Homo-oligomer: A and B are copies of this chain.
Amino acid sequence: MITTTTDSASTPLDRLSERLAGDMEQVNILIRARMASRHAPRIPEVTAHLVEAGGKRLRPMLTLAAARLLSYPGQDHVKLAATVEFIHTATLLHDDVVDESRQRRGRPTANLLWDNKSSVLVGDYLFARSFQLMVETGSLRVLDILANASATIAEGEVLQLTAAQDLRTDESIYLQVVRGKTAALFSAATEVGGVIAGAPEAQVRALFDYGDALGIAFQIVDDLLDYGGVSATIGKNIGDDFRERKLTLPVIKAVARADAEERAFWVRTIEVGDQREGDLEEALAIMARHGAMEAARADALGWVAKAKAALTLLPGNEIRAMLDDLADFVVARVA
C-alpha cells in the first residue's frame, strides 16, 4: 500500500517543486536566455512552443534535488539542470518526427505546426546548446557522463525502432530500450548533481542508481498507462503503443505466456500489422487473462524499491525524504 502524502492537496512532485522553486526559477531564466537565437527566429518559436508548454521539469528537478540534497553551495547545478532539460526537449522534438506524433502535452506537436525539418534542426540546435552549457561548468567528469548518456539515449531509440513489430523482443531488450529512452537521462540528471556537489564516489553511485531505477519504473508505468493502467479501462489516448506495434512490457509478458491461438493474434496485430475493429479490446483481454498488467506493475514496484534502497546511502534530510516519496508516487499513477 502506497500512501506517503501528508498533504492531500499536493503530490510529492509538487512539494519538491515548491522546495526547489528558487533554483528552478534560475533554470527557467537560463533556458529562456539560451534558447534564443540572434540569427534564426524560427528557433525560439519552436522551442518556446515546447519548453513553455507546461512540462513538469521532472528531469532538471532531479539534478537540482541531487545537488541540494548534498548541500551544494554553488550555481553550476542550475546550468546542468538546464542542460538536462535541453537534451530532453531535443529528444522530444526528434521523437515526434520519428513517431509521426500529432500531439504532445495536449498541444499539436512542432512537426505538425511547422514541419519535420524544423523539428530535426531545432532539436540539433538544442542539443548543441546543451553541450555549450555543460562545457561552461568546466567539469570533464560531467561532460563524460552526459556524453555517455547521449549515446545511450540515441542507441536506445534506434533499438526501439528495430525492436518494434518484432515478437522476439524480450524483457532484456525492453530494459535496454527503456534505459535508453528514459532512464539514461534520469540517471545522468541525478549523477551530475552529485558530481558537481563533489560527493564521494559511493554517493555519486547511489544517485546514479536512484535515477536509473526511478527512470525504469517511470517508463514501465507510462507503458502501462498507454493500456489504461492495471484496470485496463478503454478511454481516450489508450492503445497508441498497440497501434504503433510497440513491444512494451505488458505485451512482452503476454506474448511469453501465449497459447497457439493468442500467438497467432499477436503475430497478426503486431508483426504483420493487420489490425481490425475490436483488436485492442482483445489484446487487453489476453493481457488480463495472463495477469500481464499486474506483473508489469510488480516489476515497476521492484524498481521503486531499488530506487529507495539507493537513497539510504545518502544523507538523511528533507530532500531525500521527498525523493523517497517521489519514487512511490511514480508508481502510484497506476491504480
Contacts and interface: CB of A to CB of B under 8 A. Distances in A.
A42 interface: yes
Size class of the A contact interface (CB-based, 8 Å) = 35 or more
A131 B83 CA distance: 15
Kindly list the 7 A-B residue pairs having the minimum CB-CB distance in the complex, ordered from nearest.
Answer: A128-B150, A125-B154, A128-B151, A124-B154, A40-B158, A131-B147, A40-B159
A39 B155 contact: yes
Contacts of A120: 94, 97-98, 120
A151 B138 contact: no
A96 to B, nearest CB: 10
A153 interface: yes
A266 interface: no
Interface string A51-90: 0000000000000000000000000000000000000000
Copies per assembly? 2
A135 interface: yes
B94 A121 contact: yes
Contacts of A138: 140
A131 to B, nearest CB: 4
A143 B135 contact: yes
Given A91-B124, A124-B157, 14 more contacts: A40-B159, A42-B158, A43-B155, A94-B121, A94-B124, A97-B120, A98-B116, A98-B120, A122-B158, A124-B127, A124-B150, A128-B147, A131-B131, A132-B148
Given A147-B131, A147-B132, A97 B125 contact: no
Contact of A117 (B42, B122, B161): B161
B131 A153 contact: no
A122 B160 CA distance: 12
Contacts of A162: 40-42
A176 interface: yes
Contacts of A153: 124, 128
A27 B147 CA distance: 20
A56 B127 CA distance: 27
Contacts of A159: 39-40
A76 to B, nearest CB: 14
Nearest to A179: B39
A49 to B, nearest CB: 14
B154 A128 contact: yes
Nearest to A157: B121
Interface in A15-43: 37, 39-43
Given A97-B116, A121-B98, A121-B154, A42 B140 contact: no
Contacts of A144: 132, 135
Interface in A119-177: 120-122, 124-125, 127-129, 131-132, 135, 138, 140, 143-144, 147-148, 150-151, 153-159, 161-162, 176
Which of A41, A116, A117, A124: most chain B Cβ within 10 A? A124
Contacts of A91: 124
Nearest to A140: B138
